[in-house]
């Protein structure tokens, strides 16, 4: 855990969140400022600051994050209509919390990125 990391504090329950899924390696919770009817953040429990910090040893972890997004989308019935999974990296990528997180967005028509 990184002492000054908001999402590590959410993992530790030091900061409250609306958790929708948890297992040994992942936590998923609703975004505090949802941009769509479904806006879930899927994070590894271990602290990894950005996508740039990922290595081959995290390949399975990232795969599990994507499958978690798929599973949540199916459970909410938005899988057939469609949804979006996003990983933002660093400032120009729009990253504001420096603990890797996968956004699951869905439940409305999503338009272009940018």
User: Which residue lies nearer to ligand 5GP by CB, 55 or 96?
Assistant: 96
- Which entry of Zn ion, ligand 5GP, none binds 32, CB below 5 to 8 A by partner kind? ligand 5GP
Strand partners, 21: 28
Enumerate long-range contacts of 82-89, CB under 8 Å, 24 or more apart: 82/106, 82/110, 83/38, 83/107, 83/110, 84/110, 86/113, 87/51, 89/50, 89/51, 89/52
Contact status: 47 vs Zn ion (CB under 5 A): yes
Contact status: 41 vs Zn ion (CB under 5 A): no
User: Which residue lies nearer to ligand 5GP by CB, 69 or 80?
Assistant: 69
Among 37, 63, 81, 94, contact with ligand 5GP (rule: CB under 6 A):
94
101 catalytic residue (yes or no): yes
- List 47, 99, 101, 103, catalytic entry: 101
Strand partners, 85: 104
Give the N- to C-terminal CA distance of the chain in Å, as an integer: 31
Contacting residues toward Zn ion, per CB under 5 A: 2, 5, 7-8, 47, 99
């Amino acid at each position: 855990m990184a002492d000054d990391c908001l999402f590590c504090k959410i993992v530790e329950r030091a900061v409250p969140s609306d958790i929708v899924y948890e297992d040994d390696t992942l936590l998923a919770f609703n975004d505090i400022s949802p941009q769509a009817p479904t806006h879930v953040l899927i994070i590894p429990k271990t602290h990894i600051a950005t996508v740039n910090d990922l290595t081959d040893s995290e390949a399975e972890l990232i795969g599990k994050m994507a499958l978690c997004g798929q599973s949540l989308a199916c459970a909410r019935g938005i899988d057939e209509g469609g949804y979006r999974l996003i990983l933002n990296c660093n400032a120009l990528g729009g990253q504001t919390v420096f603990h890797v997180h996968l956004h699951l967005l869905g439940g409305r028509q999503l338009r272009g990125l940018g």
